[in-house]
Amino acid sequence: MVTLTLSTVTFDHVKIVVLIRIILGVHQPMTNQFAVSPGAGILRPATQCPSPNQDDRLGGSEPNLVIIHGISLPPGEYGGTYIESLFTNSLDWSAHPYFGEIEGMQVSAHLLIRRDGEVIQFVPFQRRAWHAGESCFRGVSCCNDFSIGIELEGTDESPYEDAQYDCLMAVLAAIMAAYPAIELRRIAGHSDVSPGRKTDPGPAFDWLRLYDGIRLGNAQHNDE
């Protein structure tokens, strides 16, 4: 049996902060959970599911913007493999009446974060994914050229899962470390870059939670 007394245990500042967050149930990103490989921009560990819907970034430029999306197929239904099928051009358009409305679409995103926090990568970050469509960020159009697209499985109106926020924060920490031009103010929603045309990730997405989580993660990282 091991007996510890408080006088024999020393905590540094970071450990105390982490302990308090655990006690209070504050969700925080695990900043060292993911990493982006140099070169192609593969996220590890993430399930790899290559999409044919990708091409080169103009001039080989690096991404400097992240666009957050929401998606579910059919809308409002979670689970299954319809999203992977859509992004790999293998969706059976007759499997659901809604699929007839999007028949023939060739789209993709760099990442999908499922309700349980599983991360699937369809396109390496150094390549262009086809997620934003007609779009503009601070006067610069064609956001696919310079952005990373992250889909969260969900709808505009229902809350996203804790596991998705935790995972998104951890993934963004890895992305921001790999591409320093992506700072907090360069993380936007699809509705921000395609106003009037797109509404995702919707009012259900908690932007303050995301921003505060990233700031907390950065502060903890700087303390270490």
Q: Active-site positions?
A: 151
Our CB check for Zn ion shows the closer of 69 and 186 to be 69
- Indicate the residue among 112 and 216 with the shorter CB distance to Zn ion: 112
Nearest alpha carbon to residue 66 among 218, 157, 220, 201:
201
Dihedral angle of Cα 69, 189, 212, 184, to the nearest 10 degrees: 120
- Fill in the DSSP letter of residue 112: E
Compute the least distance from the CB of residue 188 to Zn ion, in Å.
11
> What is the spatial distance between Cα 24 and Cα 39, in angstroms, rounded to a whole number?
40
Site of interaction with Zn ion (CB under 5 A):
69, 190, 200
Listed residue (56, 43, 61) closest to 176, CA to CA: 43
Nearest approach in angstroms of CB 197 to Zn ion is 10
Q: Under a CB-based contact definition with an 8 Å cutoff, are residues 161 and 117 in contact?
A: yes
- In the complex, what is the shortest distance from the CB of residue 112 to Zn ion, in angstroms, rounded to a whole number? 12
Centre a 10 Å sphere on the Cβ of residue 5 and count the other Cβ atoms it contains: 6
Cβ nearer to Zn ion, comparing 166 with 200? 200
CB nearer to Zn ion: give 153 or 200: 200
Tell the smallest beta-carbon distance from residue 7 to Zn ion (Å).
Answer: 55
